[in-house]
Chain A
Amino acid sequence: MARINLILLLVLTACALGLVTSQHQARKLFSELEREQERAKQLDVEWGQLQLEQSTWAMHARVEKIARERLRMIVPDAKRTQVVFPGVAAAGSQGAQR
């Protein structure tokens, strides 16, 4: 009888210690999760700011101005525009081969 009690006591102690350890682990993991979530939120904010920056740099008015002034690009006028339709283009190239 006494021996069984002793064994049970040992098992109980082991279980108790196990509980303490796992609780500690759980808390450590949870605080890590918390930190990562905070980081995710911060990254989300940063993403928003980067999107904002991208939109500001990519403003159509700005792009157009740079294209026109710095790169000296122009919109081709009607006389220099050739519109090619997929179906018609195939026929045209065949004609060129012949």
Chain B
Amino acid sequence: MNYAASPVLALRLPLWRSRLLLVTIAGGFLVLAGRALYLQGWNNYFLQQKGESRYSRVLEISANRGRITDRHGEALAISTPVKSVWAIPEEVQFTSPQRAKLAALLEMPPQEIDKRLNESTSFVYLKRQIPPEVAERVSELHISGLFQNREYRRYYPGGEVMAHVLGFTGVDDVGQEGIELAFQSTLAGKSGSRRVIKDRMGQIVEDMESIREAQNGRDLALALDAKLQNLAFSQLKLAVENHRARAGAIVVLDAKTGEVLALANLPTYNPNNRSRLSGAQLRNRVITDTFEPGSTLKPFTVALAIEQGRVTPETMIATASGTLSIGKASIHDAHTFGDMSVSQVIQRSSNVGAARIALSLPAESMWGMFDKVGFGSLPRLGFPGEVSGKLRAYKTWRPIEQATMAYGHGISVSLLQLARAYTIFARDGELMPLSLLRVDAPLAGKQVISPDTARKLRAMLELAVEVGGTAPKARVMGYRVAGKTGTAHKEENGAYAAHKYVSSFVGLAPVSDPRLVIAVMLDEPSAGQYYGGAVAAPVFSTVMGGALRMLGVRPDAPLKPLELPPEGSEIKEGV
């Protein structure tokens, strides 16, 4: 066979066919080139995304909540990381020994786990806030459908002692009460995120960009002194138990700086374990509750009368009768001592005397005095739930009301307001702004009364704690102390309850150069005694003595044991 002679070779094809093929193939290449150009040049976003997702990762950067410390840097609240275990119930597969182990680790009965898993199909928390070590062991069980995430839990080493000042945070580490709520924006950190390149081993090899900067919460140094707080709390607790009081509160102020050195309330709660809480336990009575202060207000009326030049400490006031009738109402004293000087009115806490002095003053100036020392307006601590108390406009005052207000009835204040108002006696007439945070440079006070009047009042308040005054039990060995008792009937349903009292004491020391102002209040002491001088003054005395020693304040009185008046001869104040 002769292939060369094959008729196929002799076949001649028309030229257009090869041309067509060439054009088609070239066209195909052009389309490809165009597409490539399009994908690389114009519409490259999608492919770049896909490429990036192979190596770049966005990482969350968690931020810590700031720590709260006392004035010396002792930790009062710290957040530490914990884990929460959650599950996608549809995907959960475990054998029954695994289930038993899981239940044991989470400290819950196996049935409880089944119940939780049946609650939802897509997401359910099995247990929140478990220690990281336990979480580690849970993940070692290798149960599919079970996941963990990182959370923070706040711990309060001080427990119930500091509970009311600090408050607490919820399960999401957001402040809900107290300082935690008031300074939420300062304490809270802002979590951030950043994009990084990871290699195939999962190690970060390059930082691409920071999407959001993480910001740790700022640490907060409180004015509180942990040692002093503990002393105040334990003494208050003792007194509340001994006098079977319904509640108690104490606040210690630094008269030099206006800092709140201690603030305690009873009943209290443990912020680390808040499973059973009642409203009464949560209330910060010092700041958010008001009460009728009683005789502790007398010094303000007297200060005003001296300031206006209407009386001097030696002016005699007609108190011999022991009663004073104004219209239908009358005011009584617990004891009668004949006519008293203005100093003695304070020393023996005479209602009649205080009322007589008040009635000689214009209502407007008396209102002005109360207003200037901060009654009826917020103390502006920035604490949640602060109250302003009740001080009615002077135009609506009737004479009897003006008279009762002189000894602290018909007006309501918080214990904090009361303690703050006493800074005018401790600081030669200056009212200090208060601070819950440590103050490095004290703010300027506001002059309310003249230094001379303040010193005169201090001398009168010192008489009140001597033998012959209403509160000899308030004295502290080695220091000169000044202060005033208060005993007031409690108001119930618009009338005064016959046998329910609020006993209080506010005082300052050392008199020669006052450093501390302490206010103590006990609500409904029901173990027999109810006078401020018997119930609240001893608490003041022990706390003041301990605090002055802790602060290293130089004694300004001889260190002699104190003599107490014989039983039964105490001077009782008018109630």
Contacts and interface: CB of A to CB of B under 8 A. Distances in A.
Interface string B510-538: 00000000000000000000000000000
Contacts of B155: 52
A55 B158 contact: yes
Interface string B45-86: 000000000000000000010010000001110111100000
Nearest to B76: A55
Contacts of B230: 60-61
A83 B556 CA distance: 11
Contacts of A49: 78, 80
A13 interface: no
* Interface residues of chain B: helix, strand, loop or mixed (majority): mixed
Contacts of A58: 74
B157 A56 contact: yes
Given A27-B205, A27-B206, A31-B204, A51 B559 contact: no
B554 A52 contact: no
A26 B206 CA distance: 8
B152 to A, nearest CB: 10
A54 B226 CA distance: 14
B477 A78 contact: yes
A67 interface: no
Interface residues of A, number: 25
A30 B204 contact: yes
A27 B197 CA distance: 10
A52 B80 contact: yes
A93 interface: no
A79 interface: yes
Contacts of A82: 559
Nearest to B160: A61
Interface string B477-502: 11000000000000000000000000
A51 B78 contact: yes
B356 interface: no
B227 A60 contact: yes
Interface in A1-52: 26-28, 30-31, 34, 44-45, 48-49, 51-52
Interface in A41-98: 44-45, 48-49, 51-52, 54-56, 58-61, 78-79, 81-83, 85
A83 B80 contact: no
A27 B199 contact: yes
Contact of A55 (B79, B157, B231): B157
A74 B192 CA distance: 53
B555 interface: yes
B512 to A, nearest CB: 14
B207 to A, nearest CB: 7
Interface in B71-113: 74-76, 78-81
B205 A30 contact: yes
A27 B207 CA distance: 9
8 contacts: A27-B206, A45-B80, A48-B79, A52-B80, A52-B155, A59-B157, A61-B230, A79-B561
Given A27-B206, A78-B478, 10 more contacts: A26-B206, A30-B205, A31-B203, A45-B80, A49-B80, A52-B157, A55-B75, A78-B477, A78-B559, A82-B559
Interface of B: 64, 67, 74-76, 78-81, 155, 157-159, 161, 199, 203-207, 226-227, 230-231, 234, 477-478, 554-555, 559-561
Interface of A: 26-28, 30-31, 34, 44-45, 48-49, 51-52, 54-56, 58-61, 78-79, 81-83, 85
